[in-house]
Amino acid sequence: MGREVELNRGRIIPTQLIENRTPVDRVVLVAAPTKATDPREAEEHLKELARLTYTAGGEVASVVYQRIDSPNPRFYVGSGKADEIRRTVRESGADLVIFDEELTPAQGKSLEDHIGVRVMDRSELILDIFATRARTREAKMQVELAQLQYLLPRLKRMWTHLSRTRGGIGLRGPGETQLETDRRLIDTRIADLRRKLQDVTSARKTRRKRRQGAYRAALVGYTNAGKSSLLNALASDELFVEDRLFATLDSATRKVDLGDGYQALVTDTVGFIRKLPHHLIASFRSTLEEAREADILLHVIDVSHPDWEEQNRVVDDVLRELELDEKPQILVFNKVDRLTHEEEAAIRERVRSFETTPSLFLSALHHRRLDDLKETLKARIRATLQQVTLQLPARDGQALAALYREGEVLGRREDGAEIEVTARVPESLLGRLRKRNGVRILEVA
């Protein structure tokens, strides 16, 4: 027998997410974890699916749950549970069923035929949310590409309402003809989107070249961990922030003043989530190139979430898939304002016991302990600088300005014709100064 999983004291949608809005669909959620899955983890996945449904504009009418040994090739769940889902749909007046697991095209078609309403899986739901949240031209193209790649193997089930004439030479029905036409159109559109995204990637590389010499940090983390709030707090900006999954998709880069003449370029990237569709990861590779080019990753963790450790593992897995796991990291445990002193102390002790990556605890929303992060970034920048003493013509204001802009000037002497400067500078600036006429490198520490 199935059961309704209690989400926040019996309510299907967490109370803190309820607001005055008109839902688009009444939804039945279906969770079918394997028996090897930890029950608490499975229930947390289901809560997250409810939040995703709410984010997409749906209202959860009921939940059907079954632990399985392995997926049924026809319905994913057993045939008896499929009958229960059909009854639940009729009794609740639902017009949509969403599975927490990824369905094959054949399973999706069989379920829709059996239940009589539209059936989606978690991947399709996430793609739908991304489609509504994309704002820039690049993000819209990335989401469209992922949707088309997801749709292509599932086209057949969309045409079951047309002719069921047996296929073959001279016997192809209009449904099959249209199916092949759609496949060609989608293949053409996918190729077109890939070309356009490649152009965007090239333009992004050009912009990054102009920023060479600047220290770059990328914010990565689970969705709704507070990355945008942290960037707002660091840069005194007003990026869009909302307590909702995938509130922002488009990357944003801001210059952050760290004090003492130090600056860093900090980029907010798209949030990760459990079972993130592979097509989506592939499509957003160009956006995540900002993370690849960064000097350091700031892995933002919602420390107030009861399953922050699992979310941490999910992010690590995605970073590994993107070949970013070897990049230097700082763990930024955000939202400490939601913890008691005892809870924070216990988590700090736990982090010390198993994590070798440097970590900081702060609250982006309340601007608590942000100076600790700025000091840490300044120390990282200092570690990349070389101390150099050089002479340059007094008339070479461009070189002098570059020393003050990109380095840290420690001392300066001038005799009218020449200026002697001792400074800490990045490798890129030192290389440019070596090639500059009139500049003499006296000492490199």
What are the tens digits of pLDDT across the range 275-318?
Answer: 777 667 766 665 677 788 889 999 999 999 988 999 999 899 88
- Work out the angle between the directed axes of helices 39-55 and 122-133 (0-180°, nearest 10): 40
Pick the most confident of 16-25, 158-167, 292-301: 292-301
DSSP per residue over 412-445, as a string?
A: EEE-SSEEEEEEEE-HHHHHHHHTSTT-EEEEE-
**What's the average model confidence in pLDDT over 405-411?**
87
* Angstrom distance (rounded) from CA 130 to CA 344: 34
CB 220 within 8 A of CB 315: yes
Indicate if the pLDDT at residue 17 is higher than 60: no
Quick one: pLDDT at residue 276?
Answer: 75
Indicate if the pLDDT at residue 173 is higher than 60: no
Quick one: pLDDT at residue 375?
Answer: 95
Per the listing, tokens 């600047």 go with 214
At CA 365, angle to CA 361 and CA 371, rounded to 5?
50
Phi, psi of 224 (to 5 degrees): 70, 20
69: helix, coil or strand?
A: coil
Quick one: pLDDT at residue 220?
Answer: 92
Quick one: pLDDT at residue 139?
Answer: 77
At CA 237, angle to CA 366 and CA 222, rounded to 5?
65
Confidence of residue 15 (pLDDT cuts 50, 70, 90): very low
Looking at domain 15-125, which CATH architecture does it have? 3-Layer(aba) Sandwich (3.40)
Quick one: pLDDT at residue 158?
Answer: 52
Indicate if the pLDDT at residue 10 is higher than 50: no
| Weakest mean pLDDT among 161-165, 309-313, 389-393 | 161-165
CATH number for the domain formed by residue range(s) 212-382 = 3.40.50.300
Confidence of residue 241 (pLDDT cuts 50, 70, 90): low
Quick one: pLDDT at residue 343?
Answer: 94
DSSP per residue over 249-315, as a string?
A: -S-EEEEEEEETTEEEEEEE-PPB-TT--HHHHHHTTTTTHHHHH-SEEEEEEETTSTTHHHHHHHH
CA dihedral 188, 190, 196, 200 (to 10 degrees): -170
* Angstrom distance (rounded) from CA 289 to CA 292: 5
Percent of the chain with pLDDT over 90: 41
Indicate if the pLDDT at residue 8 is higher than 50: no
- Give the number of other Cβ atoms within 10 Å of residue 259's Cβ: 11
| Weakest mean pLDDT among 132-136, 326-330, 379-383 | 132-136
CB 425 within 8 A of CB 403: yes
Percent of the chain with pLDDT over 70: 82
For domain 385-444, the CATH class is alpha beta
* Angstrom distance (rounded) from CA 372 to CA 121: 42
CB 331 within 8 A of CB 358: yes
pTM of the entire predicted model? 0.76
Element (H, E) at 27: strand 25-31
Query: In terms of pLDDT, which residue wins out, 19 or 52?
Result: 52
DSSP-assigned beta bridge partners for residue 30: 64, 99
